[in-house]
Structure 1
Amino acid sequence: MACSTTSSHADQFIAPRLVIVEGIMGSGKSTTMRFIAKRLQETGTEAQPVHERTDPHPVRATDELEHWFEPWRDATAAQLAQRALARWTAFVESMRTGVAVVVMDGQLFHGDLTHLLLMEAEPALISNYVQAVAAAIAPLDPFVLYFWQEDVDKAIRTVCAERGDEWVAYQVNWKLAAPYCVRRGFAGLDGLIALYRDYRRMTDHLFEQLPIAKLAIENSERDWPAYEKRILRALRLPG
């Protein structure tokens, strides 16, 4: 897979003000976000971890909507993309006077972009939105870490087994009620897997197009010591 290696941009990477950890649910984003923030702090760098559940969240645009859980009830995909880009732009402006490195759990893909897919946004709108966000965050010298799994079916079934029936029902009831899933007849766990196959195809392409420092890791084996060494090497942090 083309995006499974460090991009040439990573060789030029020196000191990010923003690190974004991406991947599907259960891929290790939150744990890795905390790991990176801790390692930065150990070097004397002020680092601020931002979890996907941080409230208020600095960039998540659906927080502004009445039905944040079902944004298709309050906005069009184009309106949500515009709101999200405005939030990213304001976030970058707020970072100009600070010194901390923000380490973010998702939000470039996992977050508002997921909702854009669920809202059946056109591929061109999604691509243009991500490129606009990449341009907006460029002053922060961002770095994107992307976890992916060759076998999406196995990855989703594994995380669902680990997190239990209640969590699976929560994911199914929320995501499969969205226009994208209803139109395609997605239902149950198989429907959730089908959604994430589509999501991963989309994010693979978007990641490959990112004009910023980045690293992709296929982490199905869950060999975290090996992955952490690669991450620290890409970030030029002590191992």
Structure 2
Amino acid sequence: MTAGSQERNETRNGPGLLLIEGIMGAGKTTTAQFVGETLQRMGLQTKVYLEGNLEHPADYDGVAVVDEHELEAICRAYPEYAETLWSLAETAPQSGEKMGQDDPARSDPEVRVVPGEPEAVSSHSRQGCTWLIPYRKAQREMGGERMPAELVDALAKYDIYDGISLAKHAETLQASWHRFASWQRESMSTSYVFDCCFLQNPVCSFIAMHNAGADALQDHVLSLARTVLPLRPVLIYLYPTNVRETLERIIPERPKEWLEFVISYHTDQAYGHARGLSGLDGLIEFLEQRQSIEMDICKQLPFPVLIVPDPHRDWARAQADIARFLGAAGW
């Protein structure tokens, strides 16, 4: 079945944005890969971004968000890595900024050299800036010598999802999605398939971590929806009707550390503390509430939504439903 507005551009037949959502174990990765392969068979240039992709064009993973004073403090604490930090730092996007614009630090005429900073950073460009440092990507690419564990831990305290205020988190993500949408609207040469970043990640921040309430979450997500509306988006929501059964099916397939982490993440933060959640039962209660909130949001979205109940019971049927949905939506 479908939910949300069915108003769309009848001449779609081109690149766009496909969003895949659902709780853990619902089949998001399988579905995202299926959708990507389907679009490629249709002759559309397609990029699929699964959960944890450090190169995501709209969302962030393993990125610290710091102001100039916080970044300078980290550089003072780790002076031997100051040059590395400044080489990694990029200014956070602002509302209205487009991807591909030159970094202001690279075009500022009033350049001065700051000890431990690259020559391209000026006193003017640093004032009032918010900086993004992709520390997980740097750790992966640079190794322990240039990005040691203690420096990674220091940066993780400012992680965009786990270390900053909800207001700064929302502002940074809104600007990033706006920048992506502006760039994609102008190029429209590639279809993008995003896994979990449109609903799941905001739920983790707004609900699990900050216990900000469903209304605040909905306002944030609907703002993102309006931002990407020119990209002709559609959303595929995978809906296991029995959360406990879904978890019991996937737990044996995953490491013990994974289960410990997801239980802790969903029960040992603001939302879980406020409701006394604990253990597997607490995780299940959270995920059931999450599904309810996400389904409510799906009904408010201004673009086509497909709800796929229990896709794991019959993947052939689920994929056929998805293919029909994409065809009806103009793909």
* TM-score range for the pair, normalised by the shorter chain length: 0.7 to 0.9
Residue deviations 1:189-231 (CA, integer Å, cap 9, x gap) = 1111111111111111111111111110101552010011111
Alignment partners' CA distance in 2, 1:26 and 1:186 = 21
Alignment partners' CA distance in 2, 1:70 and 1:157 = 31
8 Å Cα contact 1:147-1:217 kept in structure 2: yes
Considering only CA atoms, is the larger Rg found in Structure 1 or Structure 2?
Answer: 2
Residue equivalent to 1:178:
269
Is 1:152 the equivalent of 2:225?
Answer: no
Residue deviations 1:79-133 (CA, integer Å, cap 9, x gap) = 2222221111111122121411001111111113322111111322111111101
Alignment partners' CA distance in 2, 1:69 and 1:161 = 33
Distance 1:106 1:148, change over 3 A: same
Q: TM-score, normalised to structure 2's length? A: 0.65
- Give 1:42's aligned amino acid: R
Alignment partners' CA distance in 2, 1:184 and 1:11 = 39
8 Å Cα contact 2:62-2:159 kept in structure 1: no
- Give 2:3's aligned amino acid: S
- Give 2:172's aligned amino acid: R
Is 1:92 the equivalent of 2:92?
Answer: no
Residue deviations 1:65-90 (CA, integer Å, cap 9, x gap) = 34379767632223222222111111
Residue equivalent to 1:6:
2
Alignment partners' CA distance in 2, 1:46 and 1:72 = 30
Residue equivalent to 2:221:
130
Alignment partners' CA distance in 2, 1:48 and 1:145 = 17
Please, which of 98, 103, 116 is the counterpart of residue 193 of structure 2? 103
Paired-residue identity, %: 24
Residue equivalent to 2:230:
139
8 Å Cα contact 2:241-2:309 kept in structure 1: yes
Distance 1:62 1:176, change over 3 A: farther
Residue deviations 1:12-60 (CA, integer Å, cap 9, x gap) = 5644500001000111111111111111111111011111111132222
1:8-23 map, 5 Å: 9-10=5-6, 12=8, 14-15=12-13, 17-23=16-22
Alignment partners' CA distance in 2, 1:90 and 1:39 = 27
8 Å Cα contact 1:134-1:210 kept in structure 2: yes
Residue equivalent to 1:203:
294
SS of residue matched to 2:236? strand
8 Å Cα contact 2:20-2:195 kept in structure 1: yes
Q: TM-score, normalised to structure 1's length? A: 0.88
SS of residue matched to 1:60? coil
Residue equivalent to 1:37:
36
Instruction: Flag structure 2 segments of 5+ consecutive residues without an equivalent.
Output: 65-154
- Give 2:52's aligned amino acid: R
Alignment partners' CA distance in 2, 1:194 and 1:226 = 29
Distance 1:56 1:229, change over 3 A: same
SS of residue matched to 1:54? coil
Residue equivalent to 1:113:
203
Residue equivalent to 1:59:
58
SS of residue matched to 2:187? coil
Distance 1:164 1:93, change over 3 A: same
- Residue 152 of structure 1: CA displacement? 1.8
Instruction: Flag structure 1 segments of 5+ consecutive residues without an equivalent.
Output: none
Which has the higher mean CA deviation after the structures are superposed, 193-202 or 89-98? 89-98
Alignment partners' CA distance in 2, 1:112 and 1:30 = 18
RMSD: 2.3
- Give 1:100's aligned amino acid: T
SS of residue matched to 1:161? helix
Please, which of 194, 197, 202 is the counterpart of residue 285 of structure 2? 194
8 Å Cα contact 1:138-1:212 kept in structure 2: yes
Which has the higher mean CA deviation after the structures are superposed, 198-207 or 136-145? 198-207
